[in-house]
Amino acid sequence: MSKDQFIIVAIDGGAASGKSSTSRGLRDRFCLMRVDTGSFYRSITLKLLEAGVEAKSNAKLNQALEKMELKTEIESGDAMISIDGWTPDESIRSERINHSVSDYAALPEVRGRLLQYQRNQKEVAQENGYSGLIMEGRDIGSVIFPDANVKLFLDASPEARALRRAKEGIVDSMEKRDRIDSTRKTAPLKRPEGSIIIDSSEMSLEEVIDEAAKYIEAALNS
């Protein structure tokens, strides 16, 4: 690709596989707009819970999703979802949301509501002068941007992942989330075709960022 071409980097992986810290490092190194799609699913989950909408396919869910006005605000290089004028805070990382998010994210209606919105982040990044987009989630390289210039799949041992969450002081149902995420019918968590696996169990964050950066450099120079 030529230097002035817009680059798309997709990062997928399970809970606590290191996607967020890695994508933040790459965002800053390559001046990319970062999109944490997990925060979108978490925000929608919070709004549906607040409205008393259960994680079930029915008219109430459809109505609630249809009514939501989704916009994007950029904060320090991160695309933040805004739902009816509300932007997420730390409450989307609570135990309650960790517990419920995968049930809502498994619903085709919820995924459908976010599909085009996620793809539109490319235009948001371009309009705001970024040279590329780094998007992390579960189905970015497989469904959202299957033609991304770089597709990374992060992995880590269960021990390394549990240790990370313990250090962050977060209570998370990681195994349960991964099980629901990888067995759902619509856009399950899986290694996207053509993706590069980085197992970060024995690596420092800097090492993971450096390793991922090599593939981005290679794409930019190809």
Which 8-state DSSP code applies to residue 32? Answer: P
Contact between 134 and ligand C5P by CB under 6 A: the answer reads: no
What H or E segment, with its residue span, contains residue 104? helix 95-105
* Site residue total, ligand C5P (CB under 6 A): 13
Contact between 138 and ligand C5P by CB under 6 A: the answer reads: yes
CA–CA–CA angle 112, 116, 122 (5° rounding): 150
Segment near ligand C5P (CB under 6 A); pick from 37-45, 70-78, 203-211, 213-221:
37-45
Q: How many CA atoms lie within 13 A of 16 on its CB side?
A: 25
CA–CA–CA angle 26, 72, 116 (5° rounding): 90
Contact between 15 and ligand C5P by CB under 6 A: the answer reads: yes
Contact between 41 and ligand C5P by CB under 6 A: the answer reads: yes
Q: Which of 92, 121, 91 is nearest to 104 (CA)?
A: 92
Judged by CB under 6 A, which of 25, 164, 177, 208 binds ligand C5P? 177
CB 148 within 8 A of CB 192: no
Segment near ligand C5P (CB under 6 A); pick from 1-9, 137-145, 152-160, 197-205:
137-145
CB 152 within 8 A of CB 10: yes
Judged by CB under 6 A, which of 18, 25, 38, 88 binds ligand C5P? 38
Q: Which is nearer to ligand C5P, 5 or 120 (CB)?
A: 120
Q: Which is nearer to ligand C5P, 96 or 214 (CB)?
A: 96
Q: Which of 116, 3, 86 is nearest to 124 (CA)?
A: 116
Contact between 181 and ligand C5P by CB under 6 A: the answer reads: yes
Residues that bind ligand C5P (CB under 6 A): 15, 37-38, 41-42, 101-102, 105, 137-139, 177, 181
